[in-house]
Every structure is written in C-alpha cells, then in structure tokens.
Amino acid sequence: MSRVLVIGAGGVGSVAVHKMAMNADIFSHITLASRTKSKCDAIAASVKERTGVVIHTAAIDADDVAATTALIKAVKPALVVNLALPYQDLNVMDACLAAGVHYMDTANYEPREEAKFEYRWQWAYQDRFREAGLMALLGSGFDPGVTSVFTTYTKKHLLDSIETLDILDCNGGDTGLPFATNFNPEINLREVTAPSRHWENGQWIEGPALTRKQVFDFDQVGEKNMYLMYHEELESLAKFYPEISRIRFWMTFGDSYLKHLEVLENIGMTSIEPMQFQGREIIPIEFLKALLPEPSSLGPLTRGKTNIGTIATGLKDGVQKTVYVNNVCDHEEAYAETGNQAVSYTTGVPAMIGAAMILTGQWKGAGVFNMEQLDPDPFMDMLNKHGLPWKVQDLDAPLAF
C-alpha cells in the first residue's frame, strides 16, 4: 500500500483516480492536485459517491517547480503521476528529483512555443534519475503506452522478430456535435496538424499532415478512414527495437472533423504564434480551446467504441506471420463506470496500471524508462482485469499498404 500524488484534473486524471480508488490495496492514500482545486473537488466527490474512498485535493501550478516540490514533500507520496499538460513534464520531473520521489507521465514533453514531439528532453534526465536512485516512467497511457506494451508482448510471445509495425487508433465515438476534440483541444490540434512522420529503413520519412489515407475495417466499429500521422511512441520504438524496418501510426478522422479543421487552419485559428488582439497578446489556438467543448463534458454525449492496437509482421519459427493485438472500449460503459468517455478511459486506466507496476515493485529501476523496456506480462494481466481486455488475432497476410 502506497501514497500517490496525481497532478492534473482533466478526464484522464479523473479516470486514473477513480481506478486507483478501486484498488485500495495498492493505492492507500490518493491526493489529486491541479491549478483549479474546484475541479479536483468535483472529481473527489464523484470518487466518494462511486467507491466510498476519500480523495484528498490540493491546488498547484505545475509550472512552479518550488511550489510543486513543496507539495510533494507535504504529501509524501511514493510516486507522482503527472497527468498535467505535456509542457509541464520537465518542471514536474525537476520537482520529483528535488523531493526524491519516483515520476510517471502519459505523454512526452513538448515546448509551448513549438509543436515538437520528442523524447530527447526527458531522456536527458537519465543520469540524474539514475544517480538519485529514482525511476521515471514515460508515456503510460494507451498510445503511447499500451501500444508499446503490445509490441513488447508480441516480441516476447508471438514473434521471434518484428519486421514491420503499424499502430492503428480508431475512435468510432460520436458526440452529435459538429466539432469537438476528444482530449485537450490545444494538444489534440497541435498533434493532428503536425507533419506526418514514420520510420522506414533507418530514417524518418516526413510528409504533409493528413495527406496519406487508408480504409480499415475495425472490429465492432466498421470501416473508417485512417490517416498516417506522427506519434511519439514511434521514436522510442525505433530506439529500442532497431530490428523493425518500418513503424507507422494511423488515426481515424471523420469527414466533418477534417472539414472544420481545414477551415480553422486556413483562418489561422490553430496557430501557436502569438498575435496582438485589442491591445493584448493572445495565442490563437489557446483562444480556440476556450471556445470548444471541454472534453470532460463529452462523456454523457458520446456513443460508440474505440479500437486501438498494433499489427506486426515478422518471423515465428522461420515462417512469416502477422499478428494483431488490440482492445475495444465502449464509450457508454466507460462513462457508466467513471463518468468519463472512452478516450479518457483508455489513457487513465493505463496510467493507474503503470503507477501500480511501480508501487508494487513489478517494474523497478533507476533512471528514465519507456514502456517497451519493461516486462509486458504483469501490465497485460492488469489490462484484462481492470477494464481494457485485449485479444490476439492472426491475420492472413501483412497489411497491403
């Protein structure tokens, strides 16, 4: 039993602490902190109503390293679970080092002023965490996170070697709204509008955003258009699995979403460059975020399912084989359990599991770790037990595209 401090009170933070409260044998004391304490209090009330567990709350500006360090020392957790904005990762890592506490997050650091998704800033902390005898676990969400664990599980149990890997992320949910993002609008739009990028034959291949499309028939969702994108786990998978000759990431988008996105891009609303408006400086994408529906409000509106997984081709006993490992999550079932839709659920549950891996000692080490560096088996077992069951399917042939 261990104490944990969770920073971030969005949909993912809400799911994570709900699921932590359902595992009181691991999480004996939970504190939830964010810039807006009232959000934490609302989540704590939901947790109390659903599970009977009391969640402690606090206000914190995660940009303030000294204040975050002071809060960590006051709470005395064994682990800090950072579910705040990716811009704040380095500050929270600094605070964990100062306080002598393990660190975990679900998304890699990116600077506010540039949509740059790279692990190098966090990998640079390797020596500091190792010398402090502390563990920093990066990317314990679904993608990144579970998709890396699926890959490691595939290599350990299903294939002797992996030649190609495709990550397929399908959200078949429908809110009934003309345009909404299923997680933080600012982060979502920065990610979607970034140039595509995939790993092939030892180098990165780049192209314009959302220009390469394929149709795929997703189990329990149906045929969807999916688009080649860059996603952060490609970088770590290419680093830790140099044998893989090609690694790609695909995400589904509906025509209405893309139509609205094109208009918003054309008029400059997705820009991260500051501009002057009525005598004050604003950043267009931050203003747009304020206009869009709050993702945490979409739970009661969303119907349908997500389907996220990995398709790997390689050799097994000298014979080429293609295997598909995936999870299907129902938006309405996720909402019934935690009050949040499936996109938050599929990130918040792995956040809880990653924290459990560290707190129970099933994953341990000193330094900075990505998910694919660790034993997949206990994590995969907990996915099945805590709401994200997975299945393995043999495909007749490699992907034709």
The predicted-structure confidence for 309-333, as pLDDT tens digits, reads as follows: 999 999 999 999 999 999 999 999 9
Amino acid residing at 266? N
**pLDDT tens-digit map of 179-193:** 777 666 677 777 788
Amino acid residing at 345? Y
**pLDDT tens-digit map of 123-180:** 999 999 999 999 999 999 999 999 999 999 999 999 999 999 999 999 998 888 877 7
Work out the angle between the directed axes of helices 331-338 and 11-21 (0-180°, nearest 10).
60
The model's confidence at residue 264, banded by pLDDT at 50, 70 and 90, is confident
More reliable by pLDDT, 238 or 285? 238
pLDDT of residue 115: 65
pLDDT of residue 20: 98
CA distances from 364 to 103, 206, 373 (A): 12, 36, 11
Tell me the Ramachandran region of residue 32: left when phi exceeds 0, alpha when psi lies from -120 to 50, beta otherwise. beta
The model's confidence at residue 285, banded by pLDDT at 50, 70 and 90, is confident
- Other CB atoms within a 10 A radius of the CB of residue 291 amount to 8
Least confident of 199-213, 293-307, 324-338: 293-307
Between β-strands 161-171 and 367-370, what pairing exists: parallel, antiparallel or unpaired? Answer: unpaired
Assigned token pair, 176: 């009934």
Can you tell me which residue has the tokens 């939970």?
A: 30
CA atoms of 302 and 335, how far apart (whole Å):
9
CA atoms of 206 and 195, how far apart (whole Å):
7
| H or E stretch at 3 | strand 2-7
CA distances from 308 to 67, 160, 288, 368 (A): 37, 23, 28, 26
pTM of the model: 0.93
